[in-house]
Structure 1
């Protein structure tokens, strides 16, 4: 219920966007937010209506909107906020409805797919969401309005996105320690395993280490053995990795991928480093490619003071 309240707050915020100044030759173009029928009494019914009708008042055939990011992109940002509050199946329906509307014009379709890339795929996007991005890619790959040449990248991204999804078993691999001893992902025994794929000298990697170390909850659970961290270097500069070893806490498992399976076989989607996963005791993916703070919040919810 709280998520649906947030959804309608996001919709209300989107409706208040600014518009270009009126000119003598043209009325200003704006994004007109839909009105939710009063007869839809439950939050779930209202959410479904918003999801299916968000762009109802938007003219996808008017390409002038492409040159008005203060209107169109602002509305899209509000739309992404709405998608993030929806159940996955309803978000997927909404995505398909939106892209179907955007197919009214080739340029508009390209513009909307670029916006989906920017907001849902870009590693630097604060609202990046692969589970919502997957139906975008599926729609593009299946569309007869998109050439085979233009499907190459989305098809590749879709294949990577479908690997190691939440709820599915993580891909196993062998890691090698500095001593030469080897182990496997599935051989690490713990209630929860944080898989930390990193590179030497990576500023974001250093910040991730600091975030985990500074967390009282994570530090306590790691000390108790309920949570383990497997830090893995996926590349080939072992001299740099050995020089960097002291930067990884001693209680973590710190190894490298000697067989280069992560990169050569693309076992994991490493669009950005670091990449952080949270796995269950049976190595099913709980969280995929998330910041350390998200891992901390999840474990705080399931472990608390236990």
Structure 2
């Protein structure tokens, strides 16, 4: 800050101490971060010191007992910067930092409500992978038991939403379900055999948990879906690059019935989507509820034990993550 500006700020803080204008100006000030701790030779002892100090003291100039600050832009500005720029976007790290912040806000009921609602809405709407875990944590620990301003219908819908989404969090074992595998030979035969193309009673049953692979890409799609039409050929290219590294794709087509199968047959043949597991289940659509599917395409990346590693990402992002994990695992010593 320019020295003249800093002097003016300090003058306001001194001359108007106890007045709202001083409290507001103080809240707008960024904290001063000390220099790195050093040894006798001047070497930095902790390279993360400045970041950790800044993060720990970020809200030092804000009075969480003063609800008047809620009528200014300061809370919104400070919170957005803190959530988006200061904190590492890792669910466990976020939860560790946000819990004390919520507890700090309890000093004033109005501030507590603002902080809780702001965090709840921010993580509910976030498109960043893993933020749904933070949203569920806030909802279960704070919002459901303490949001007395929310009506019962909203809370009940929230509980239902959480029950559907919680099993799909990163780190959870993917819900198992039964599918019907349609072999490549059938697709090729059905290209010229209309009876075979419309026959929904072909293929072999299998379960997701029985797929053997280092990594499994589980893709839910429909051939009528415009986004799927772009994603599926891209996914097949990714599969061809990764299949020799122990990666399998389970491509679940969601259109049912004879008409749905005929469209599927044509699309797979037209784009030569062979070599991976082409599957569907025309008899049971419970997997749509299991995976809370409201649109397509939906991609889940699973590890060898079918734990969710990543989700709701593009085929290219899945490839990047898999290659990074394979590289990381190759450095680990054999046990």
Contact residue 221 and residue 254 of structure 2 kept, 8 A: yes
Shift in Å at residue 32 of structure 1? 3.6
Shift of residue 295, structure 1, vs aligned partner: 1.3
287, 298, 304: which one aligns with 1:262: 287
What secondary structure sits across from 1:168 in the alignment? coil
Query: Does residue 130 of the first structure (1) align with residue 144 of the second (2)?
Result: no
1:140 has 2:137 as partner: no
The aligned counterpart of 1:18 is none
2:105 counterpart of 1:81: no
Per the alignment, residue 240 of structure 2 pairs with 219
How big is the shift at 1:194? Answer: 0.1
Change in 2 beyond 3 A, CA 1:280/1:76: same
| Equivalent position SS for 2:290 | coil
For the pair shown, which has the larger CA radius of gyration, 1 or 2? 2
Give secondary structure in 2 for the equivalent of 1:286.
strand
* Residue of structure 1 in register with 2:95 after alignment: 92
Taking the TM superposition and a 5 Å limit, the aligned residue runs for 1:236-275 are 239-240=259-260, 242-248=262-268, 249-257=273-281, 258-263=283-288, 266-270=289-293, 272-275=295-298
Which of 151, 155, 161 matches 1:151?
155
**SS of residue in 2 equivalent to 1:229:** strand
Question: Matches of 1:267 and 1:77 in 2, distance apart?
Answer: 33
State the TM-score, normalized to the length of structure 2.
0.64
Could you tell me which of 312, 321, 334 is aligned with 1:298? 321
Instruction: Kindly state the Cα deviation for residue 51 of structure 1 after the two structures are TM-superposed.
Output: 4.4
Q: How does 1:3-152 map to 2 (within 5 A)?
A: 31-38=28-35, 42-43=46-47, 46-59=50-63, 61-62=66-67, 65=70, 68=73, 72-82=75-85, 85=88, 88-103=91-106, 111-113=114-116, 115-117=118-120, 119-122=122-125, 125-126=127-128, 129-141=131-143, 143-146=145-148, 149=152, 150-152=154-156
**Once the 2 structures are TM-superposed, how far is the Cα of residue 191 of structure 1 from its aligned partner?**
1.9
Q: Which runs of 5+ in 1 are unaligned?
A: 1-25
Q: Equivalents in 1 of 2:82, 2:136: separation in Å? A: 16
Instruction: Note the C-alpha offset of 1:211.
Output: 3.3
Deviations 1:42-94 (A, max 9, x none): 355555544444334345554664674xx544433322234652664442122
The answer to whether structure 1 residue 205 and structure 2 residue 228 are counterparts is yes
Matched residue, 1:285: 308
What is the RMSD of the two structures over their aligned residues, measured on CA atoms? 3.8
CA deviation map 1:85-135 (0-9, x unaligned): 266444212212233345566665555455445543337x35762233333
CA change 1:81–1:292 in 2 (3 A) is farther
Instruction: Check whether the contact 1:119–1:127 (CA below 8 A) recurs between aligned residues.
Output: no
TM-score (norm 1): 0.69
Moved more, 54-63 or 167-176: 54-63
The alignment status of 1:165 with 2:169, answered yes or no, reads: yes
Name the structure with the higher helix share.
2
| CA distance 1:281–1:114, change in 2 (3 Å) | same
Q: Number of paired residues?
A: 272
Superimposed CA distance per residue, residues 134-158 of structure 1 (whole angstroms, 9 cap, x where no aligned partner) = 3322332464343572533443343
Q: Deviations over 1:8-49 (max 9, x none)?
A: xxxxxxxxxxxxxxxxxx968774433444477635555554
Q: 1:291 Cα deviation (Å)?
A: 3.2
Distance in 1, matches of 2:135 and 2:274, equals 37
Counterpart contact for 1:196–1:229, Cα < 8 Å? yes
Query: What is the distance in 2 between the residues matched to 1:114 and 1:234?
Result: 37
Residue in structure 2 matching 1:184, options 196, 199, 207: 207
Three-state SS of the structure 2 residue aligned to 1:205 is helix
